[in-house]
Structure 1
Amino acid sequence: MTTRFRLHLENGRLRNELFHLTHEQWTQAAARHPDLAKQIDVSVGWDGDILENALQDADAMLAGPIDRPKIIQAKKLKWLHTTGAGVDHLLPLDWLPEQITVTNSSGIHGDKTEDFISMALLMLHNKMPQILANQTNKIWDMIHEFNIRGKTATVIGFGDVGQAAGLGAKRLGMKVIAVTRSGTAQPLADETISVSQLDTVLPRTDYLIVAAPLTADTRGLITDARIALLPKGAGLINIGRSPIVDYDAVVKHLASKQLDGAILDVFDKEPLDQSSPLWTTPNLLVTPHISCDAPDYTQRVLDCWFANFAKFITTGQLDNKVNRQLGY
């Protein structure tokens, strides 16, 4: 590159510090990519304190919080990279100027997601929600269960997070059914279907794992009626987005024993309100949106961005591009 590249890192102080893009975090990542970092002038902002000035000459922005009006006015900005994989907070993308390409951090969550899903499946299969409740109530009830090997996990959404979830199930010897928009065969899955065929596999699904992004098509996908199609005693895990699943229906089907257990990691409002009935629903485990995020999360984000920057300056192309029409 003959001219220096301008990057702005934007933060929100109310976000968990795990996701903060600080000068110190940048310095650590830059030390791993010295040849690339020396071509970049970087600024770091908090809650919009320098955003307007920074966007006057920024070529790219790496951000958690998004100030739409200021981005619309950023005439030089060509590249917006999000710190997460989901971009539902930006949808629909009709507000975004055409010259701006959006990329996400898909691909950085895999190993943590795989571990979490293996853990979650084993906890549900071995009745740990019931056992934890029994411990709280000082009840000695010897619950025995067969091995999980051979059970079927249906994974809704088979992008990077969904594939990692599938691997978490496969490592336990489970059969994996992948549910994708197109139904194109997935090498990691034993079977692949399109979303339109979902109802045909639910009756033979022992564990339903939701790992899809939130889009107009996935919102409200897992309804009361669809949960009722699962075999009695099935389990449900949501690591995607909460509006994909009817949580009232989850509570209802846990009470009726249609669902044997559930683990929910994502919620409409986070932190989950203390008055929410989900906290005290029997056989339901609430996890605080931790399924995909490791302690070195920000370094993973920055490594992802540096890899994309390297591709950009050599080919003019970018990986992890978000499709404006599909929303992911």
Structure 2
Amino acid sequence: MVPLKPVKNSPEDLPHTFSTHNPADDMHPTSRLILHIKNNRAGEEAFRFTGERIAAALERHGDAADRIDIRVDWDLDNFEKSMRDADALVTWDLPTAGLGDRAPHLRWIHIIGAGVEHLQPLTWLPPRTILTNNRGVHAEKTAESAAMAVLMLHNRIPAYVSDQRASRWNPVYVPPIAGKTVAVIGVGEMGGAATRAFKALGLKVLGIRRGGAPHPSVDEMHGPDGLRTVLGAADFVHVTLPQTPETTGLIDRQAIRAMKQGAGLVNFGRAPVIDHEALVEALRDGHLGGALLDVHDPEPLPAGSPLWKVPNLILTPHVSSDDDRSYIPATLDLVFENCKRLLNGESLKNRVDPSLGY
């Protein structure tokens, strides 16, 4: 076995290949998997696959280590050459045109985020290739951030931040949060994590999900046709929807005006789900008591965006569900679990349905 070397953070130091290959396995080519990991050169260090992180994950998944050849480089470096032999690809983004011909052996692509809207429509996906995503990897951090967000809204922190900017002293006393109602719009992996945090705070939880299937932490689950009902009943609305043609603009002016007077809104899903012009209007005229947005369009949010100066609004830079310590190790655990499943002919976790876009 060739020992893994650290993956550096500069292009000139990043090795194009390293491998756990055992030459004795060459007589059994069908028992092996060639896995290409493409680090995002434009991305943050927190989301890079380093040699140390890969080596630690292989220690945790030793039963698969000797069956996988791992090649690591930057996203577009050597892409054409990489795809000639790739069985599997881990990446954030990729050139998709003609991929079926350029990657004749590619059986699986894993996207290191929960959303795949940047790759839609998924008509480019070769019929033989499975697409998976990172949903669920965010759960622990998402739960903490969801609790933080509704507690901030309940305790008027967005309003106090606006008061601070205006040098205005305006104390308002609020009771404990238990007994309030929160609506979670999109009870998937992230939304489900949020519901567990909300129940721990003593909130009544209403949910919206496709099909309306029940969830153990949701008191009342509705299908999409129940959106206006839950919006009107909730003190807080927590959005965790993916971006699809069906969800884009879903929280529009009518939906925002259907919310309770003084309610709070959180978006941990995707920015285009919400009509920001209508949100700003509702914050300025007092229909909503506050909002917290963690997702934006575009990102980074431009310095000239009017959102920076909207009263009773807190903006965070897309950090609610990610962290710099556990995100990549958890991603690698999911990747290596799916490597084993692929080698054994089993169904992969976190499959994306191309027809739904998530």
TM-score, length basis structure 1: 0.96
Structure 2 counterpart of 1:203? 232
Q: Secondary structure at the match of 1:257?
A: coil
Which of 118, 124, 143 is 1:89 aligned to? 118
- Aligned-pair CA distance for 1:70: 6.2
> What is the rounded CA distance, in whole Å, between the counterparts of 2:58 and 2:79 in structure 1?
22
> What is the rounded CA distance, in whole Å, between the counterparts of 1:164 and 1:242 in structure 2?
20
Structure 1 counterpart of 2:5? none
Which of 39, 43, 47 is 1:11 aligned to? 39
Structure 2 counterpart of 1:213? 242
Which of 265, 268, 285 is 1:239 aligned to? 268
- Aligned-pair CA distance for 1:208: 0.8
Which of 170, 176, 179 is 1:141 aligned to? 170
> What is the rounded CA distance, in whole Å, between the counterparts of 1:18 and 1:260 in structure 2?
34
Please tell me the root mean square deviation across aligned C-alpha atoms, in Å: 1.4
Checking the alignment, whether the CA contact within 8 Å between 2:135 and 2:350 is kept in structure 1 is yes
- The equivalences for 1:79-118 within 5 A come to 79-118=108-147
Structure 2 counterpart of 1:271? 300
Checking the alignment, whether the CA contact within 8 Å between 2:142 and 2:190 is kept in structure 1 is yes
Structure 1 counterpart of 2:48? 20
- The equivalences for 1:116-131 within 5 A come to 116-131=145-160
Q: Deviations over 1:35-60 (max 9, x none)?
A: 21221111112131111111111100
Structure 2 counterpart of 1:304? 334
Structure 1 counterpart of 2:189? 160
1:256 matched to 2:285? The reply is: yes
> What is the rounded CA distance, in whole Å, between the counterparts of 2:265 and 2:41 in structure 1?
33
Checking the alignment, whether the CA contact within 8 Å between 1:78 and 1:99 is kept in structure 2 is yes
Question: Larger Cα Rg: Structure 1 or Structure 2?
Answer: 2
Structure 2 counterpart of 1:284? 313
Q: Deviations over 1:125-151 (max 9, x none)?
A: 000112223334443322211221111
Q: Deviations over 1:18-50 (max 9, x none)?
A: 111233332222222222122111111213111
- Aligned-pair CA distance for 1:309: 1.9
Q: Deviations over 1:261-287 (max 9, x none)?
A: 000000111110000111111100000
* Counterpart residue type for residue 270 of structure 1: E
Q: Secondary structure at the match of 2:342?
A: helix
5+ residue gaps, structure 2: 1-24
Which of 12, 33, 37 is 2:65 aligned to? 37
* Counterpart residue type for residue 297 of structure 1: Y
Structure 2 counterpart of 1:323? 353
1:68 matched to 2:103? The reply is: no
- The equivalences for 1:51-62 within 5 A come to 51-62=79-90
> What is the rounded CA distance, in whole Å, between the counterparts of 2:349 and 2:69 in structure 1?
22
Checking the alignment, whether the CA contact within 8 Å between 2:290 and 2:313 is kept in structure 1 is yes
Q: Secondary structure at the match of 1:288?
A: coil
> What is the rounded CA distance, in whole Å, between the counterparts of 1:305 and 1:70 in structure 2?
25
> What is the rounded CA distance, in whole Å, between the counterparts of 2:207 and 2:229 in structure 1?
13
Q: Identity across aligned pairs (percent)?
A: 41
> What is the rounded CA distance, in whole Å, between the counterparts of 2:70 and 2:79 in structure 1?
12
- Greater Cα shift, 14-23 or 241-250: 14-23
TM-score, length basis structure 2: 0.88
* Counterpart residue type for residue 116 of structure 2: V
> What is the rounded CA distance, in whole Å, between the counterparts of 1:314 and 1:162 in structure 2?
31
- Greater Cα shift, 236-245 or 42-51: 42-51
Q: Secondary structure at the match of 2:152?
A: helix
Q: Secondary structure at the match of 1:162?
A: helix
Q: Secondary structure at the match of 2:303?
A: coil
* Counterpart residue type for residue 51 of structure 1: F
* Counterpart residue type for residue 33 of structure 1: H
